[in-house]
Amino acid sequence: MSTMGKTKISMTIAGSDSGAGAGIQADLKTFAALNVYGTCVITAVTAQNTIGVLDFEIMNNKMISSQFNALISDIYPDSIKIGMLGNEEVVSLISALLSPMKNIPIVLDPVMVAKSGDQLISDSAIEIMKNSLIPLSTILTPNLPEAEVLAGMKINSRSDMLIASKKILELGPKYLLMKGGHMKGDPIDILFNQEEGLLVELPQKRINTKNTHGTGCTFSSAITAELAKGQNYVDSVKIAQKYVYSAMKTSVELGKGHGPLNHFYKLSY
């Protein structure tokens, strides 16, 4: 699974999607597609399908801690991805658990705004994320609605993305990938870092499909897998974008609503 002979391991800390298009399930499938062994810490369980979320339950802190500690004592990760956390208690717990872990890439997908525009976590949880979790992250991967919350401004153009990036980088992530899929026209993803500001712009042709469920989860977990294999941040983002684009272009027709990507797509490097 690795050119060095050692199996590379990525851990995902996120919610379970019973429809398997997003969350833990999307992360593990993405890890496998990119030849990385995936482990998981489940923070919440959802009852959902391609149409919507019917119910959910957040895991208690004891079980979340037990999952995490079981893994790091035996299957120590080469990279970590963080997705849906659910509430302020879980955000605080994950911040505390990750704080001692040094020199491991941490990819934070700040799941806080639904496709409908509704906020998924409380203002207090967002503040804890800003103060405790984002500073621990190596790369932060917000979409535009999430970037608007973090920057405290509307983002309607590339120039807005550049202004917002400076505000978000002040929160402490080493790298910031601002995903432009919510912008009109062909999307552009932009990677920034603390030292140099704008590193690379990655324009992409828009794909006209309703099967976009789990796109953000898949993008961040693909970056996580590539970082586990030792890729640098620019190349990890480029490879991840290529994987997501290909998986979306060959998306799966399932259910009556927004179907999943084709996580089984095998990327040719």
> Residue 138: what are its φ and ψ, rounded to 5°?
-80, -40
The pLDDT assigned to 119 comes to 64
| Residue of 138, 212, 218, 224 marked active site | 212
pLDDT on residue 117: 57
Q: Is 216 a catalytic residue?
A: yes
Q: Which pTM value belongs to this model?
A: 0.94
Q: Would you say residue 269 lies in a domain? A: no
Range of the structural domain that residue 136 is part of: 9-249
Q: Has residue 261 been placed in a domain?
A: no
CATH of residue 97's domain is 3.40.1190.20
Within a domain: 111: yes
- Is residue 40 annotated as part of the catalytic site, yes or no? no
Burial class (CB in 10 A: 0-12, 13-18, 19+), 268: exposed
Residue from 15, 19, 214, 259 carrying the catalytic annotation: 214
Beta bridge partner(s), residue 200: 191
Per-residue pLDDT in tens (0 to 9) along the chain, 269 residues: 444 468 999 999 999 999 999 999 999 999 999 999 999 999 999 999 999 888 889 999 999 999 999 999 999 999 999 999 989 999 999 999 999 998 999 999 998 866 555 566 888 999 999 999 999 999 999 999 999 999 999 999 999 999 999 999 999 999 999 998 878 788 899 999 998 889 999 998 888 888 888 899 999 999 999 999 999 999 999 999 999 999 999 998 899 999 999 999 988 86
The predicted pLDDT at position 245 comes to: 94
Torsion, Cα of 1, 222, 52, 66 (10° steps): 70
Distance CA 42, CA 4 (A): 30
Identify whether 169 is part of a domain.
yes
Q: Indicate whether 3 belongs to any domain.
A: no
Give pLDDT, residue 121. Answer: 83
Residue 83 bears catalytic tag: no
Does 163 fall in a domain? Answer: yes
Is 218 an active-site residue?
no
In a domain, 254, yes or no: no
Q: How many domains, the chain?
A: 1
Catalytic one of 19, 216, 229, 238: 216
Residue 141 included in any domain:
yes
State the DSSP H helix or E strand holding residue 88, giving kind and residue range, or none if neither.
helix 88-98
Q: What is the pLDDT of residue 118?
A: 58
Catalytic residue among 29, 81, 130, 179: 179
**According to the model, what pLDDT value does residue 187 have?**
85
CA 74 vs CA 37, 68, 139: distances in Å: 14, 10, 25
Fill in the DSSP letter of residue 261.
P
